Amino acid sequence: MNVLDIAGLRLSVGDVPLLADVTVRVGRAETVGLVGESGSGKSLTSRAALGMFPRGARVTGHVTAAGVDVLAAGRGALRDLRRTRAAMVFQDPRASINPVRRVGDYLTEGLRASGVPAREAAARALDLLDQVGIRDPGRAVRRHPHEFSGGMLQRVVIAGALAAEPDLLLADEPTTALDVTTQAEVVALLKRLQRDRGTGMLFVTHDLDLAAAVCDRVYVMYAGRVVEEAPSAGLFRAPAHPYTRALLEASPSARGERAEIRAIRGRPRSLAEAPSGCSFRDRCPLADDACARKVPDIRPHGTSLVACLRPQEVTP
C-alpha cells in the first residue's frame, strides 16, 4: 500500500492556476524525489500531502496520506495525521522550531500531546537525539535552538519529525541551507532512519544530483505539472523529457570529464504564465506546432513515463 497517493491534483487561487493534474505516489520504505525549479509547484505538491494549502485555494483531485483522505478530512483528522502519521522537515530549521523553548520541550511536546507520560517522553527525546548523532543528549535537551549550528539543529528537527514514528516523511529542501559535508551527513542520517523504520519519504529538491543520489524514483515538475517520472538511475542515464535533459546539461559537474554547460533560453514558468499545449515548448529546442495543440499525454518511453510527443528525439 502507498503511504502517499496524490492523483489528478488541481489547485488554483482565484483565477490563478498553480497545479494541474499532478499525480505522485510514495510506497512504504520508498524515497521519491520531486524535482523542479522555481514555480514548478514542487513545494505546493508536498504541502498538499498534509492538507496545507494557500489561503483561498480551490483544490480538486485525490490526496491520500497514510490512509487519510486529506481533501475530505476534518480539522481533527488532519491534526491527527500531522501529529502522528506524517511529518515534515523544511529547509530552514530555525523557522520551524520555537527559539525561546528548550530543545527537549520541542521533542517531547508532540509525544506528550498524544498521551505519552512525561518521563517516557523525556527518555524518548534522549534516545532520538542519540540516534541523530548529537553528542551528549542529556545536555542538548536543556539547550536552546540558538546554541546549535544549522546542521545540528536540522538533526534536532529530524529527530522531532521521527519522534512519532510516522509512515510518511516530507522533506522539503532539507539540506539546501547546509554545507556540503553536513549535507552528506544529514542525508545519510535520513536514509538510515528511513531504512530502519520503513518510512516513505517524499524528497523535494531543486538539485538533480542530490535527487539522483538519494531517491529510488523521481518526478520532474515544470510549470505546475509532472513532465517525467522515472527510476533515478534511468532518469539520469536516459532522460526522456527535453526539460529533464536540458536541466542535466545546464548543471555544472565537479566530477567526471569536464563537459560544457548548456544554458536553457528563457526562464522557468509558473502554470499561469505557461504557453498553451506543452508548458515547456517556448524554451524547447524540439518544439513545433503539434506541441501547441494540447498538453501531451503521459506515455512510457524507456524506463520513464513522460509528457512529451517525441521522447525518442531526446534519448533514442
Partner 1 sequence: MTEPEPVPEPVPGPVLEVASLVKRFGTFTAVDDVGFTLMPGASLGIVGESGSGKTTTARVLAGLEEPTSGTVTLAGETVTGRSRRDRLRRARLLQMIFQDPYGSFDPRQTIAESVAEPLRLHAPGSRKQHRARAAELLDQVGLSRRAGQSPPRDLSGGQRQRAAIARALAVRPRVLVLDEAVAALDVSIQAQILTLLEELRAGTGIAYVFVSHDLGVVRHITDEVLVMRHGRVVERGATEHVLRTPRHPYTRLLLDSIPSPDWDLDRVARDRVARDRRALDLADRQATPAPKGETTC
Which residue ranges make up the site for partner 1 (CB under 8 A)?
37-38, 179-185, 187-188, 191, 206-210, 212-214, 232-233, 236, 246-247, 250-255, 258, 261-265, 267-268, 283
Give the whole-angstrom CA distance, residue 279 versus residue 269: 8
CA distance 274 to 255: 34
Query: Which is nearer to partner 1, 96 or 176 (by Cβ)?
Result: 176
Q: Quick one: how far is CA 15 from the chain centroid?
A: 26
Question: Given the complex with partner 1, which of 106 and 203 has the nearer CB atom?
Answer: 203
The smaller minimum CB distance to partner 1, of residues 159 and 246, is found at 246
Please say whether the dihedral angle defined by the alpha carbons of residues 137, 143, 149 and 151, taken in this order, is positive or negative.
Answer: positive
Task: Please say whether the beta carbons of 87 and 164 come within 8 A.
Answer: yes
Instruction: Kindly state the smallest distance separating residue 266's Cβ from partner 1, in Å.
Output: 8
CB of 242 to partner 1, least distance (A): 12
d(CA 208, CA 213): 9
**Nearest distance, CB of residue 252 and partner 1, angstroms:** 4
- Per the rule left: phi > 0, alpha: psi between -120 and 50, beta: everything else, 122 is alpha
**What one-letter code names the amino acid at 177?**
A
Q: Which is nearer to partner 1, 273 or 313 (CB)?
A: 273
Chain centroid to CA 261: how far? 26
Nearest distance, CB of residue 268 and partner 1, angstroms: 6
Q: Give me the amino acid identity at 166.
A: P
Report in angstroms how near the CB of residue 38 gets to partner 1 at its nearest.
5
Least Å from the CB of residue 112 to partner 1: 33
Question: Crossing angle, helix 103-113 and helix 118-131, to 10 degrees?
Answer: 120
Nearer to partner 1, 2 or 40 (CB): 40
- Indicate the residue among 210 and 307 with the shorter CB distance to partner 1: 210
Give the bridge partners for 62, in sequence order. Answer: 7
